[in-house]
Each structure stands twice: as structure tokens, then as C-alpha cells.
């Protein structure tokens, strides 16, 4: 009788995995293995923070699982204080997975350097399987974190990120009311580190390494950071040199000063660049070098309120716009 019970349980688990993978295959997402790490069901016993849980695999092994593709505010970082929205992110994560059976979808790399299992975490909801990684981003409790080679669901994450901004969920509801210049951010870094806010400065230098681009403010103590995996979505970061960029995100204390990571152009709220030459006959607004191809961005030219209307009829390749005036 005991053998029959185990046989039934095995068949039930196999059928569940089969049905789940059929759905994932229909979405183009089911992959059985990531290297030597098989995708598997697990039971979540503890939520560590917004992007890490403890789970028990079907064979009884207890593992720590780090969610792929996202980064949530810190709760237990060894060198950082508890960050804003850390508790909210952990609570949202718990609501999705704590005490529930989840499906751990592996990507190319199965473990991180700390030995944690890396996974896209699915839970079955009333309307079908839900990718928890993307849901946390959509709610405004997580930032995208693209790290090759584990990029299978990056587009889902970015789509969720953009939706979170459009609906002003989570930290998006605060950032536009908290605007800081580079000098203010540097002076107040001890109290601002870990906070979500809007940062604005003129990009003085652009530095590149194998890992990332740094858009550096005058003085070198404040910067926007774009990682190489995210850079293609920005379409030519070099063009931002000399522009005043206003962007929203989390400010952190890095080794080189205050940093804000930009994972997607949706974080850029405004780009401005003007150099005005006055004469008795005309005013020249130079927009050379500033990309105007981010459709969500407001491009502002103070003192010329009609310019945004005029720009709608101007080619985005225009380098110098001439406006007649007195």
C-alpha cells in the first residue's frame, strides 16, 4: 500500500511538471537544464528579502534561491544599512511565495559565487503561472539587474519595469518629488544612500570599463552607471556628454562616490542641452549631441515654451534649430 502511495505521488508530480512545462513551452520559456542544474519544484520555507528565499527541493535538500534578473533593496547587506522599500519588497515576495510550491526555472548559470541557486521563480496563481521576478519589478519594489549569461527573461523584466513606471507604483510614486543636484547628492550622501530619488546633472565625462559605462558629473564624485548588458537599450550613451540628464533610481555609495544605476531609458525623465546665441534677428538653439529618440522623455528648453511644439515637426536628426526672433 505504501508503494502504491509513492507511485501515485510520483505520477502526480510528473504530471504537474509536464503540464507546467507545456504552458511554459507555449510561452517559449521552458528549459529543462542549466548546465548541470535541473529546473525543479520546491517549497518555500523562508523569505530572506525581496529577491532571496530558502526553499526545500522535492528530494528534501534545503537551498537558498537568488532570483534572476532583478535587484531589490537591501535588508541584510554586510556593508550597507537597511534600504528604503526593503521591507515592502520582502513582504511582497512573501505574499507570492512563502509556504507555497514554486517552480525554479534555471538559466545558463545555475549557482552564484555564494553557492545560491539562481532561478526564475514561478508560482501558480488564479490566472495561471506568474513569474515572481517580473511581478516584483512591476510593483515598483525591484530594479532590473541584467547579468549575462542568465538573460532568458530580460525582456519580460524590462516590460514590467516600464509598466511600473507608467503606473507610478512602489518607489516610482516618490522619485519625482525628490530632486537633487550632483552637489546636493554628494553633500547628503550619508542620509540619501539607499533612497529612491531623482538626480540631475550635466554629464561632464563618460568613462568605460569592461563592465559598465559611467556618466560622470563635474567634480567626479557623482555618476550615473549603465552596465554593459543594458547599454544597447540606450542607443549610444556617448551622445549624452554635455547634456543635462535628469533620471530616477536608487542612490548608493560606491567606491568612487555617489552612484545611480540606470537599467533602462525609462529611468531618464528629461534631457536638456541649450546654448543660446542672441542677435537682433535670430536665436539659435543648439541640440547637437543630445539624443532625442527616447519617446517618453520630456526634452526641455527653458525660456522657449513653444519649442516642444515646434520639435514635433522637426527631424530628430536636426543638429541646429533656428528660431526667428528679436
Q: Which cell is 275 given? A: 546654448
Q: Which cell is 144 given? A: 532590473
Give the CB-side neighbour count of residue 85, counting CA atoms within 13 A: 30
Dist CA 175 CA 260 (whole Å): 13
Q: Are strands 33-34 and 37-38 parallel, antiparallel or unpaired?
A: antiparallel
Q: Are 23 and 87 in contact (CB under 8 A)?
A: no
Give the CB-side neighbour count of residue 269, counting CA atoms within 13 A: 17
Q: Annotated active-site positions, please?
A: 66, 74, 116
How far apart, in Å, are the Cα atoms of 256 and each of 131, 205, 222, 277?
35, 14, 8, 37
Q: Would you call 31 helix, strand, or coil by DSSP?
A: coil
Dist CA 218 CA 204 (whole Å): 5
Q: Are 207 and 228 in contact (CB under 8 A)?
A: no
Instruction: Pinpoint the alpha helices (H) of the chain.
Output: 2-26, 86-97, 132-138, 154-166, 172-175, 182-187, 189-192, 307-311
Q: Are strands 143-144 and 70-71 parallel, antiparallel or unpaired?
A: antiparallel
Q: Which cell is 253 given? A: 555609495
Amino acid at each position: 500500500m505504501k508503494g502504491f502511495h509513492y507511485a501515485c505521488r510520483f505520477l502526480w508530480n510528473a504530471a504537474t511538471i509536464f503540464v507546467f512545462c507545456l504552458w511554459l513551452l507555449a510561452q517559449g520559456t521552458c528549459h529543462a537544464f542549466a548546465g548541470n542544474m535541473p529546473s525543479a519544484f520546491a517549497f518555500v520555507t523562508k523569505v530572506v528579502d525581496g529577491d532571496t528565499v530558502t526553499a526545500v527541493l522535492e528530494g528534501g535538500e534545503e537551498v537558498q534561491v537568488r532570483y534572476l534578473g532583478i535587484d531589490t533593496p537591501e535588508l541584510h547587506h554586510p556593508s550597507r544599512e537597511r534600504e528604503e522599500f526593503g521591507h515592502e519588497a520582502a513582504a511582497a515576495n512573501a505574499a507570492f511565495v512563502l509556504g507555497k510550491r514554486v517552480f525554479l526555472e534555471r538559466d545558463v548559470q545555475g549557482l552564484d559565487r555564494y553557492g545560491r541557486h539562481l532561478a526564475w521563480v514561478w508560482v501558480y496563481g488564479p490566472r495561471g503561472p506568474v513569474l515572481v521576478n517580473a511581478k516584483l519589478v512591476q510593483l515598483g519594489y525591484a530594479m532590473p539587474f541584467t547579468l549575462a549569461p542568465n538573460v532568458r527573461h530580460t525582456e519580460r523584466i524590462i516590460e514590467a519595469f516600464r509598466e511600473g513606471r507608467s503606473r507610478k507604483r512602489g518607489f516610482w510614486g516618490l522619485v519625482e518629488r525628490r530632486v537633487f543636484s550632483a552637489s546636493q547628492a554628494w553633500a547628503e550622501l550619508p542620509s540619501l544612500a539607499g533612497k529612491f530619488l531623482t538626480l540631475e546633472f550635466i554629464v561632464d565625462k563618460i568613462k568605460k570599463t569592461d563592465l559598465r559605462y559611467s556618466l560622470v558629473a563635474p567634480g567626479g564624485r557623482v555618476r550615473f552607471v549603465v552596465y554593459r548588458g543594458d547599454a544597447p537599450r540606450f542607443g549610444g550613451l556617448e551622445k549624452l556628454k554635455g547634456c543635462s540628464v535628469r533620471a530616477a533610481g536608487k542612490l548608493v555609495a560606491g567606491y568612487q562616490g555617489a552612484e545611480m544605476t540606470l537599467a533602462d531609458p525609462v529611468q531618464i525623465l528629461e534631457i536638456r542641452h541649450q546654448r543660446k546665441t542672441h542677435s537682433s534677428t535670430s536665436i539659435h538653439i543648439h541640440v547637437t549631441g543630445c539624443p532625442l529618440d527616447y519617446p517618453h522623455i520630456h526634452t526641455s528648453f527653458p525660456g522657449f515654451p513653444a519649442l516642444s511644439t515646434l520639435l514635433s515637426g522637426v527631424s530628430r536628426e536636426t543638429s541646429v534649430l533656428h528660431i526667428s526672433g528679436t
